[in-house]
Amino acid sequence: MAKDLEKEKKLAAKEAVKSIRDHMIIGLGTGSSAVYVIKEIGELVKNGLKIKAIPTSNATQELAASLNIPLIDINSVNTIDITIDGADEFTSDLILIKGGGGALLKEKIVASLTKEEIIIADSSKKVEAIGKFKVPIEVIPFASNYVLRQIELLKGIGQIRTNADQPFITDQGNYIIDADFGLISNPAALAEKLNGIEGIVGHGIFIDLASKVIMGNNDSILIFERKGASHKS
């Protein structure tokens, strides 16, 4: 029987919000999985939970504001207690590809400030090695052709993401290049090389940023922490 991936996302979202306590600063992720989290948090706030939240995209900001979740400027804090976000792919050692929704830059900045980064996912996101999902790379438009050629030198094939035949524009006014490197045997080395290319402002390979992944798996959840996975319920 086909898996109900939306149900798995919802289950993971419900589990993730259990870690939230009064007076925490919470990072809010972007994407369809994160929407379930934001709606759960909206309910908790309605019932008296006192938190302040930092959104990772304009879309998340709008949804959170519509649910009366108090928002604060990221530059007014030095740390974020918990962020709950989605991912496009993850491995059991918590290497992620993110940015399918184009919000990878703010997602990575928020994750970098976060004490506990919780990733929620449906079971289709778990992989042995990242790379089937193309790596989203945010570039300033001025550099896009240069970056495409640098990606070629790294044996990748890049393509500027489009939306209705126009380049997709990020919240920061940049382009996204989706880059196919095949299955990535050494994500850290590739991440390092991408970090060094002028014009790239961020990429979707997340290493050492996630504290755990909560994955919905049919009617139960699986939790992946830095070492292996354990059944929760």
Q: Which residues are catalytic?
A: 107
On whether the CB atoms of residues 216 and 12 are closer than 8 A, the answer is yes
Considering only 55, 86, 187, 202, the residue that binds ligand 5RP (CB under 6 A) is 86
C-alpha–C-alpha distance, residues 55 and 28, integer Å: 5
Smallest gap from residue 143 Cβ to ligand 5RP (A): 20
In the block, residue with structure tokens 């030095």: 78
Considering only 15, 40, 85, 178, the residue that binds ligand 5RP (CB under 6 A) is 85
Site for ligand 5RP in 13-32 (CB under 6 A): 29-32
Which of residues 63 and 104 has its CB atom nearest to ligand 5RP in the complex? 104
Does position 99 bind ligand 5RP by CB under 6 A? yes
Does position 159 bind ligand 5RP by CB under 6 A? no
Site string for ligand 5RP, 105-134 (x = CB under 6 A): --x---------------------------
DSSP state of 102: S
Does position 216 bind ligand 5RP by CB under 6 A? no
| Encoded amino acid at 38, one letter | I
Tell me the β-bridge partners of 217. 220
> 221 by DSSP, 3-state: which?
strand
Which of residues 83 and 150 has its CB atom nearest to ligand 5RP in the complex? 83
C-alpha neighbours within 13 Å on the C-beta side of residue 53:
31
The percent helix, strand, coil of the chain (3-state, each to 5) is 35, 30, 40
Residues at the contact surface with ligand 5RP, assessed by CB under 6 A: 29-33, 85-88, 98-104, 107
